[in-house]
């Protein structure tokens, strides 16, 4: 069969491209990795990220450096990863905040969440909880709801930021309880909790993990946990469901990379991440802190994120 010079050049180019793609995937990782955390150091997300980074560095035989890029409700950190090279060396610790922004702030985002970020794996989830300052006099979720109905919009609550899981939780509470609250966003979980501890806020909403030690020491009041069952970290604090309020909310943590990253690299990252969180010591540590380990597959992670987007869209629609 006769092949023209042009055809030979085309075939040669295709072969080189295929070889190059295979080589890049086989050589991954070829340099240290960066794990971007879109929250300040010291919070729940930061602790999870550092635990994962330590395990990944052992699995991938490369250093994994945690870089906190807080601000704008996860947008600064997510944008950095959305504009990174699609080579798998820059990871994003994702949370519901990233999904919430994709819905609530879609028009103003400097990136396209679905087009620019690829979910790789979901690590674990942790129930949220509502906390009150002792000076508020509120001990139950019923107390908070009654106070909010008496003075619509007068009660402020702190969260880890605009579009955070805590923010979503309270928007849901407003809907199911028929109340109006005032949101005070902070740049992360730790600043929000510190404001509650300092008496600057009557309510803060964050993970069961972050608030449990302060509840145990009577520095704050556990009003309600938002899981399907009581948190092992605060067994004496009832769930919202027990209080007759149809409210469930959990913070989940996952890993995403820049969209366009080669499928073999994504698969390798997913396998490494799953191996880390399924490690007995890591699993026990996470479960001790109240987490439920997920460690899903890449397709499952994508489906979960898509489901989160659908849930956020419904919340935004119903709150308008």
Residue 182 lies in a domain: yes
Summary mean pLDDT of the chain:
89
User: Are 215 and 165 within one domain?
Assistant: yes
The mean-pLDDT minimum among 2-6, 207-211, 237-241, 261-265 falls in: 2-6
**What is the domain extent for residue 202?**
127-225
Q: Which residues contact 193 (CB under 8 A, 6 or more apart)?
A: 131, 158, 204, 206, 210, 211, 214
User: Are 134 and 153 within one domain?
Assistant: yes
User: Are 184 and 210 within one domain?
Assistant: yes
- pLDDT tens for 35-80 read 999 988 887 789 899 999 999 999 999 999 999 999 887 899 999 9
From 167, 190, 225, give the residue that closes a domain.
Answer: 225
Residue 138 lies in a domain: yes
Helix or strand or coil: residue 6?
A: helix
The first and second tokens of residue 183, run together, are 């949101």
Spatial CA neighbour of 126 closest among 216, 179, 189, 57: 189
Residue 312 lies in a domain: yes
Grade residue 26 by pLDDT with cuts at 50, 70 and 90.
low
User: Are 203 and 276 within one domain?
Assistant: no
Q: What is the mean pLDDT of residues 187-192?
A: 88
CATH number, domain of 85, equals 3.40.190.150
pTM of full prediction above 0.85? no
pLDDT score, position 25: 56
Residue with the bigger pLDDT between 223 and 103: it is 223
DSSP string covering 214-245, please?
A: HHHTTSSEEEEE-SSS--TTSTTSPBTTTTT-
pLDDT score, position 1: 45
Residue 233 lies in a domain: no
CA distance 290 to 229: 12
Grade residue 165 by pLDDT with cuts at 50, 70 and 90.
confident
User: Are 143 and 67 within one domain?
Assistant: no
User: Are 118 and 264 within one domain?
Assistant: yes
pLDDT score, position 177: 95
Q: Which helix (H) or strand (E) is 143 found in, with range?
A: helix 141-150
User: Are 177 and 37 within one domain?
Assistant: no
CA distance 80 to 310: 24
Residue 3 lies in a domain: no
Residue 295 lies in a domain: yes
Q: What is the mean pLDDT of residues 194-209?
A: 95
pLDDT score, position 320: 61
User: Are 136 and 117 within one domain?
Assistant: no
Is the confidence at residue 18, as pLDDT, over 50?
no
Is the confidence at residue 2, as pLDDT, over 60?
no
Spatial CA neighbour of 181 closest among 194, 193, 166: 166
Number of domains in the chain: 2
User: Are 98 and 162 within one domain?
Assistant: no
User: Are 138 and 174 within one domain?
Assistant: yes
User: Are 51 and 191 within one domain?
Assistant: no
CATH number, domain of 192, equals 3.40.190.10
Grade residue 17 by pLDDT with cuts at 50, 70 and 90.
very low
User: Are 112 and 38 within one domain?
Assistant: yes
Is the confidence at residue 166, as pLDDT, over 80?
yes
Residue 232 lies in a domain: no
């Amino acid at each position: 069969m006769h092949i023209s010079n042009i055809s030979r050049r085309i075939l040669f180019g295709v072969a080189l491209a295929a070889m190059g793609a295979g080589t890049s995937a086989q050589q991954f990782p070829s340099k240290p990795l960066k794990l971007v955390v879109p929250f300040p150091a010291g919070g729940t997300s930061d602790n999870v990220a550092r635990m994962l980074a330590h395990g990944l560095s052992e699995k991938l035989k490369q250093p994994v450096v945690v870089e906190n890029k807080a601000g704008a409700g996860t947008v600064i950190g997510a944008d950095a990863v959305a504009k990174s090279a699609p080579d798998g060396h820059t990871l994003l610790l994702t949370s519901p905040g990233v999904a919430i922004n994709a819905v609530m702030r879609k028009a103003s985002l400097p990136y396209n969440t679905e087009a620019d970020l690829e979910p790789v794996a979901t690590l674990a989830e942790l129930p949220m909880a509502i906390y009150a300052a002792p000076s508020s006099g509120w001990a139950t979720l019923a107390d908070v709801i009654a106070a909010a109905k008496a003075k619509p919009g007068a009660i402020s609550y702190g969260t880890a930021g605009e579009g955070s899981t805590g923010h979503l939780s309270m928007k849901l509470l407003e809907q199911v309880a028929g109340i109006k609250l005032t949101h005070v966003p902070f740049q992360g979980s730790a600043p929000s909790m510190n404001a509650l501890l300092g008496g600057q806020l009557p309510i803060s909403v964050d993970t069961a993990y972050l608030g449990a030690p302060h509840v145990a020491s009577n520095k704050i009041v556990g009003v309600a946990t938002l899981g399907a069952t009581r948190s092992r970290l605060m067994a004496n604090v009832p769930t919202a469901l027990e209080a007759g309020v149809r409210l469930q909310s959990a913070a989940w943590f996952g890993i995403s990379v820049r969209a366009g990253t080669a499928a073999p690299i994504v698969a390798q990252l997913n396998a490494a991440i799953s191996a880390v969180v399924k490690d007995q010591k890591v699993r026990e540590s996470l479960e001790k802190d109240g987490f439920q380990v997920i460690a899903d597959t890449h397709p499952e992670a994508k489906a979960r994120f898509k489901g989160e987007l659908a849930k956020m869209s419904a919340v935004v629609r119903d709150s308008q």
